[in-house]
C-alpha cells in the first residue's frame, strides 16, 4: 500500500484519480494544487495545469479531510520538448518545489496520483518529477476509453459542473455551469458530430467537482460570475469565476453507501474497459482457446556429458556496419570477477567499446536482452546497469539461463546507427492500461516502423502483481492484453506482428496454453511464427514471458506471410526446417527474420557431441543461405548438455554476423496458418538446436 499525494485541479479527472487510488487500496495522505500567483486571475495559458475555479480548491481540504498544499505558478511552458529536462523558469519546476514542500511535511508519502488521460506532455513531466523525488506515479485514467470513463465518473457519484467551455456545440447560456450528468448525452452527440473529446481532453471544456464519494462535505456554490473570453457564435470561450461557496456536511451513512457504490462502479468500469478492448480486437475467446488440441513438443537432443563447462567465450561481438545499416547488433559476456558489479562493469565496458566502434552511444541503444545465471541477483545487476542510460532507456527482456563457463551475465544489444533516432514509449505511471516500467527500460522502441517491445509478463497493470495462485492460462490472457495495449498506442496491432518469442517454465504451457491464446489474438493473420524456449525462472516468478517483434500499421501490408521450407542432408544425419518473414521499413530498408529447427535424424549426432558441433555449423550455413536478407544477429537455442563454448567457437568461424549461443533445456520454432493449426515439424527427430536469424534494418 502506498501513501499518496493527489495532484488536484478541482476537476473531474483528478477527483476520479483520487477515487481510483483509494479503490486500489492506497491511502490518500495529502492533496496538492498549483494556482496562479495572482489570486484574481482565473486562467493561465498553461500546458500543464487547469486553473479555472482555483478559488474553490481551499474547500477540498475540508471536504476530503486531508491536508492541502498549494503553490503559485511562477514559471511558464519554457521547455516544450518531448523529453523534459530540468529547466529554470518552467512551470514543471513549480510542481517539483510544491512536492518537495509536501514531502517535508508528510515524509511518509511515497507516491503521487494525477488525472492524465491522453497527454504525454503532462504524464512524462509528472513522471519526471516523481522519479526525481523517489515517488511512484499513479495515472489510473491513462488511455481509458473516454465514453466508458465519463459514464463511470457519473455513475460513481462525481457531481461536477462545466466551469469552462471552448468548443463547437457548447453554449454559454445552456452549458456553462451545467452538471456533467445533465449534459452527458449532449457531449456524446458532439463527439459523434465533430469527433470532439467526450472527456474534454482536447480542451473542449473543464469541470469543477462539487461532490464525490470521498468528500465528507459537499460544496455548494453561492455566487459565480460568467466571464466571456470569445463571443464566437460557433465556439464561444467562457468560464465561471467562483465568488462564494459553503460546505454541507454529509450524513456518514450516506457517505458509506456512496463509497460502496464507488468501489463497485470503479471495478465494473475497469472490467468493461477490458471487455471493450477485447471486443475491438476479437479477444473474448482467449481463455477458452487454451483447450485446443495439444501440440507434442519435440525433445531436444540429450548428450552424455552435462553442464556448461569450458572457458567463457570472448567478450564482444559486433555486427559489421554497412552504409544502409539502421540497427546494429552487439553482445558481450562476462568473465569471472571479484563481484557481480565488476562483471556488469566489464560487460558494459565491452559494449561501450562496441558502440563507439560503430559511431553510437548509450542513448542509441534500442533493445537489450539480459541473461543471468541467477535471477535472484538481478537487483544488483539492475542497479549497476541502469545508470548507463538516460530518460528513455532501451526496451528490455531479462531471463535466467545456464550460461557458458563461469559467466554470470550476458547482454545482447540492438543499437540505432547512421543518424537513425528511435521513437520511445516509456510509461512509468501505474494505470489500468499496461504494466508500468519496473526498472530502467522502456515499453517499446520504434526504429523506422519496426517495434522492439520489452518482454511482457502476466502482471495486472493496476496492481502491478501477477494474480495468485499462479495460472499459465491467466498469465497468457493478461500478456496478450498487455501486448495489445502497447501495440495500439504505437499504431500497430495483430496484423503488424512479425513474430513472438515465448519463454516459459514449461514448454507444454508455452505450446498448449499461451500459443492458442496468441493465435486467437492473431486471428486475421494469414500465417505466423514463434520460438518457444525454456527458462527455469522468470521475473516476478512468472510462468511466461513474451517478446514481440512487430511493425506499425503503415508497414503491415509489407509484412510477408510466413514462408516455410525444409532441407535434408545439410550434414550427415541432420535436417533443417525453416520459417521466414520479410518486410521493408519506413525508410525502405529490407528486414527479415528466419527461424529454423535443426533436427538429428539418425542418432549419430546424439551419440557424438563433436559431430553435433560440426553439424550445427553446417546447419547455420544452410539457414543463412535461405535467409531473405543477410542476418545481423544469429541466436542459437542450444541443448544445455552441449558445450556452448565449443559451439560458439565453431559457429563463429562460419557466421557472417555475431552468434549468440543460449543454453536452454528445451526450445522449438513453430508456425501457424489461417485455420489456426499449430505445427513444428512432426516426426523429424530430436531438435539439435533452434536458430533465429535476425536481419533488422
Residues 6+ apart with CB under 8 A from 225: 240, 241, 243
Res 636 pLDDT > 50: yes
End-to-end Cα distance, the chain: 44
Please tell me which residue, 266 or 527, carries the higher pLDDT value.
Answer: 266
Residues 328, 457: one domain? yes
**Nearest-angstrom CA–CA distance, 250 and 267:** 24
Q: Which helix (H) or strand (E) holds 153?
A: helix 146-155
Q: Is residue 280 part of a domain?
A: no
Is residue 547 very low, low, confident or very high in pLDDT (cuts 50, 70, 90)? very high
Q: Is residue 274 part of a domain?
A: no
Q: Which helix (H) or strand (E) holds 227?
A: strand 217-230
Res 515 pLDDT > 50: yes
- Residue 160 sits in a domain whose CATH number is 3.40.50.620
Most trustworthy range by pLDDT among 163-172, 582-591, 670-679: 163-172
Q: What percent of the chain has pLDDT over 90?
A: 58
Residues 6+ apart with CB under 8 A from 424: 392, 442, 444, 445, 446
Q: Is residue 563 part of a domain?
A: yes
Q: How many domains does the chain have?
A: 2
Please tell me which residue, 226 or 564, carries the higher pLDDT value.
Answer: 226
Residues 218, 348: one domain? no
Average pLDDT of the chain, as a whole number: 88
pLDDT of residue 294: 63
Angle between helices 644-652 and 609-626 (to 10 degrees): 40
CA angle 157, 159, 161 (to 5 degrees): 155
The mean pLDDT of 6-15, rounded to a whole number, is 95
Find residue 667's DSSP bridge partners: 533
**Nearest-angstrom CA–CA distance, 63 and 15:** 12
C-alpha cell belonging to residue 482: 498487455
Give 642-669 pLDDT, tens digit per residue. Answer: 888 888 889 989 988 889 999 999 999 9
pLDDT of residue 680: 52
The mean pLDDT of 608-627, rounded to a whole number, is 88
- Residue 567 sits in a domain whose CATH number is 3.30.1330.40
**End residue of a domain, out of 260, 279, 302:** 260
Find residue 345's DSSP bridge partners: none
pLDDT of residue 527: 72
**End residue of a domain, out of 212, 238, 260:** 260
Residues 252, 184: one domain? yes
Residues 644, 516: one domain? yes
Q: Is residue 281 part of a domain?
A: no
Give 120-177 pLDDT, tens digit per residue. Answer: 889 999 999 999 999 999 999 999 999 999 999 999 999 999 999 999 999 999 999 9
Going through 233-356 in order, the beta strands assigned E by DSSP cover 237-249, 316-318, 327-333
With cell 516523481, the residue in question is: 130
Residues 6+ apart with CB under 8 A from 529: 499, 562, 579, 581, 593, 595, 669, 670, 671, 672
Residues 255, 318: one domain? no
Residues 352, 216: one domain? no
Q: Which helix (H) or strand (E) holds 126?
A: helix 120-132
Q: Is residue 276 part of a domain?
A: no
Residues 6+ apart with CB under 8 A from 638: 616, 644, 647, 661, 662, 663, 664, 689
Res 332 pLDDT > 80: yes
Give 436-483 pLDDT, tens digit per residue. Answer: 997 899 999 999 999 999 999 999 999 999 999 989 999 999 999 999
**Nearest-angstrom CA–CA distance, 236 and 93:** 33
Give 550-566 pLDDT, tens digit per residue. Answer: 999 888 888 888 888 88
Give 412-429 pLDDT, tens digit per residue. Answer: 999 998 878 889 999 999
Verify cis geometry, omega within 30 degrees of 0, for the bond prior to 469.
Answer: yes
Q: Is residue 272 part of a domain?
A: no
Is residue 301 very low, low, confident or very high in pLDDT (cuts 50, 70, 90)? low
Q: Is the Cβ–Cβ distance between 644 and 529 less than 8 Å?
A: no
The mean pLDDT of 10-21, rounded to a whole number, is 96
CA 239 vs. chain centroid, Å, equals 38
β-strands 667-672, 678-679 pairing: antiparallel
Find residue 220's DSSP bridge partners: 246
Please tell me which residue, 458 or 91, carries the higher pLDDT value.
Answer: 458
Q: Is the Cβ–Cβ distance between 400 and 361 less than 8 Å?
A: no
Res 186 pLDDT > 70: yes
Q: Please tell me the pTM assigned to this model.
A: 0.92
C-alpha cell belonging to residue 579: 520459417
Residues 171, 298: one domain? no
Residues 237, 328: one domain? no
Q: Is residue 30 part of a domain?
A: yes
Q: Is the Cβ–Cβ distance between 42 and 227 less than 8 Å?
A: yes
pLDDT of residue 327: 86
pLDDT of residue 565: 87
Going through 381-449 in order, the beta strands assigned E by DSSP cover 395-400, 409-416, 423-425, 444-447
Is residue 682 very low, low, confident or very high in pLDDT (cuts 50, 70, 90)? very low
Residues 238, 301: one domain? no
pLDDT of residue 38: 74
**Nearest-angstrom CA–CA distance, 52 and 60:** 15
C-alpha cell belonging to residue 41: 486571475
DSSP percent split of the chain into helix, strand, coil, nearest 5: 30, 30, 40
Please tell me which residue, 55 or 373, carries the higher pLDDT value.
Answer: 373
Residues 246, 361: one domain? no
State the residue range of the domain holding 507.
Answer: 291-695
C-alpha cell belonging to residue 385: 546497469
Please tell me which residue, 433 or 524, carries the higher pLDDT value.
Answer: 433
Is residue 289 very low, low, confident or very high in pLDDT (cuts 50, 70, 90)? low
pLDDT of residue 302: 57
pLDDT of residue 310: 47
Q: What percent of the chain has pLDDT over 70?
A: 91
pLDDT of residue 679: 54
Residues 178, 299: one domain? no
Q: Is residue 171 part of a domain?
A: yes
DSSP 89: T
Residues 73, 139: one domain? yes
| Listed residue (639, 634, 638) closest to 660, CA to CA | 634
Amino acid at each position: 500500500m502506498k501513501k499518496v499525494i493527489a495532484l488536484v485541479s478541482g476537476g473531474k479527472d483528478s477527483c476520479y484519480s483520487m477515487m481510483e487510488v483509494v479503490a486500489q487500496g492506497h491511502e490518500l495522505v495529502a492533496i496538492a494544487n498549483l494556482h496562479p500567483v495572482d489570486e484574481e486571475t482565473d486562467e493561465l495559458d498553461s500546458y500543464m495545469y487547469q486553473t479555472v475555479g482555483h478559488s474553490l480548491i481551499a474547500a477540498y481540504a475540508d471536504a476530503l479531510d486531508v491536508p492541502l498544499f498549494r503553490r503559485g505558478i511562477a514559471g511558464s511552458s519554457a521547455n516544450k520538448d518531448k523529453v523534459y529536462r530540468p529547466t529554470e523558469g518552467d512551470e514543471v519546476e513549480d510542481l517539483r518545489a510544491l512536492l518537495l514542500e509536501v514531502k517535508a511535511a508528510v515524509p511518509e508519502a511515497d507516491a503521487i496520483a494525477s488525472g492524465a488521460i491522453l497527454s504525454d506532455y503532462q504524464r512524462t513531466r509528472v513522471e519526471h518529477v516523481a522519479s526525481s523525488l523517489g515517488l511512484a506515479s499513479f495515472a489510473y485514467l491513462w488511455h481509458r476509453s473516454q465514453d466508458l470513463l465519463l459514464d463511470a465518473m457519473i455513475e460513481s457519484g462525481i457531481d461536477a459542473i462545466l466551469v469552462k467551455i471552448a468548443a463547437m456545440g457548447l453554449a454559454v447560456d445552456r452549458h456553462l455551469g451545467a452538471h456533467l450528468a445533465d449534459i452527458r448525452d449532449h457531449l456524446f452527440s458532439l463527439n459523434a458530430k465533430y469527433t470532439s473529446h467526450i472527456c474534454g481532453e482536447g480542451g473542449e471544456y473543464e469541470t469543477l467537482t462539487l461532490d464525490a464519494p470521498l468528500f465528507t462535505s459537499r460544496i455548494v456554490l453561492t455566487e459565480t460570475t460568467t466571464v466571456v473570453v470569445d463571443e464566437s457564435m460557433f465556439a464561444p470561450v467562457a468560464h465561471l469565476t467562483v465568488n462564494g461557496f459553503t460546505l454541507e456536511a454529509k450524513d456518514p451513512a450516506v457517505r458509506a453507501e456512496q463509497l460502496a457504490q464507488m468501489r463497485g462502479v470503479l471495478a465494473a468500469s475497469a472490467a468493461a474497459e477490458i471487455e471493450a478492448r477485447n471486443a475491438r480486437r476479437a479477444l473474448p475467446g482467449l481463455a477458452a482457446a487454451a483447450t485446443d488440441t495439444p501440440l507434442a513438443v519435440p525433445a531436444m537432443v540429450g548428450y552424455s556429458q552435462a553442464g556448461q563447462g569450458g572457458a567463457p567465450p570472448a567478450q564482444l561481438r559486433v555486427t559489421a556496419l554497412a552504409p544502409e545499416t539502421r540497427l546494429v547488433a552487439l553482445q558481450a559476456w562476462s568473465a569471472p570477477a571479484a563481484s557481480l558489479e565488476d562483471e556488469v562493469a566489464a560487460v558494459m565496458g565491452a559494449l561501450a567499446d562496441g558502440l563507439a566502434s560503430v559511431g553510437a552511444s548509450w542513448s542509441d541503444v534500442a533493445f537489450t536482452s539480459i541473461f543471468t545465471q541467477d535471477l535472484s541477483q538481478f537487483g544488483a545487476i539492475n542497479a549497476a546497469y541502469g545508470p548507463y542510460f538516460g530518460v528513455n532507456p532501451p526496451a528490455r527482456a531479462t531471463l535466467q539461463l545456464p550460461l557458458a563457463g563461469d559467466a554470470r551475465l550476458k547482454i545482447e544489444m540492438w543499437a540505432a546507427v547512421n543518424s537513425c533516432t528511435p521513437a520511445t514509449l516509456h510509461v512509468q505511471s501505474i494505470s489500468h492500461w499496461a504494466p508500468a516500467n519496473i526498472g530502467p527500460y522502456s515499453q517499446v522502441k520504434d526504429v523506422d516502423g519496426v517495434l522492439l517491445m520489452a518482454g511482457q509478463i502476466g502482471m495486472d497493470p493496476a496492481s502491478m502483481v501477477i494474480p495468485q495462485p499462479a495460472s499459465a492460462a491467466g498469465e497468457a490472457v493478461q500478456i496478450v492484453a498487455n501486448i495489445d495495449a502497447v501495440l495500439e498506442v504505437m499504431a500497430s496491432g495483430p496484423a503488424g506482428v512479425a513474430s513472438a518469442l515465448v519463454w516459459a517454465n514449461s514448454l507444454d504451457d508455452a505450446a498448449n496454453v499461451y500459443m492458442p491464446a496468441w493465435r486467437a489474438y492473431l486471428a486475421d493473420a494469414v500465417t505466423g511464427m514463434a520460438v518457444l524456449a525454456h527458462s527455469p525462472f522468470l521475473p516476478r516468478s512468472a510462468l511466461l514471458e513474451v517478446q514481440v517483434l512487430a511493425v506499425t500499421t503503415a508497414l503491415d501490408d509489407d509484412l510477408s506471410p510466413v514462408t516455410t521450407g525444409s532441407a535434408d542432408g545439410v550434414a550427415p544425419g541432420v535436417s533443417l526446417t525453416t520459417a521466414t518473414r520479410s518486410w521493408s521499413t519506413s525508410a525502405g530498408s529490407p528486414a527479415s527474420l528466419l527461424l529454423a529447427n535443426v533436427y538429428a535424424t539418425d542418432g549419430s549426432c546424439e551419440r557424438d557431441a563433436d559431430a553435433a558441433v560440426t553439424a550445427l555449423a553446417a546447419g547455420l550455413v544452410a539457414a543463412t543461405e535461405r535467409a531473405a536478407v543477410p542476418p545481423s544477429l544469429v541466436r542459437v537455442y542450444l541443448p544445455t548438455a552441449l558445450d556452448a563454448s565449443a559451439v560458439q567457437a565453431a559457429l563463429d568461424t562460419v557466421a557472417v554476423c555475431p552468434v549468440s549461443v543460449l543454453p536452454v533445456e528445451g526450445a522449438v520454432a513453430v508456425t501457424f496458418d489461417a485455420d489456426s493449426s499449430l505445427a513444428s515439424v512432426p516426426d523429424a527427430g530430436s531438435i539439435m538446436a533452434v536458430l533465429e536469424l535476425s536481419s533488422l534494418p
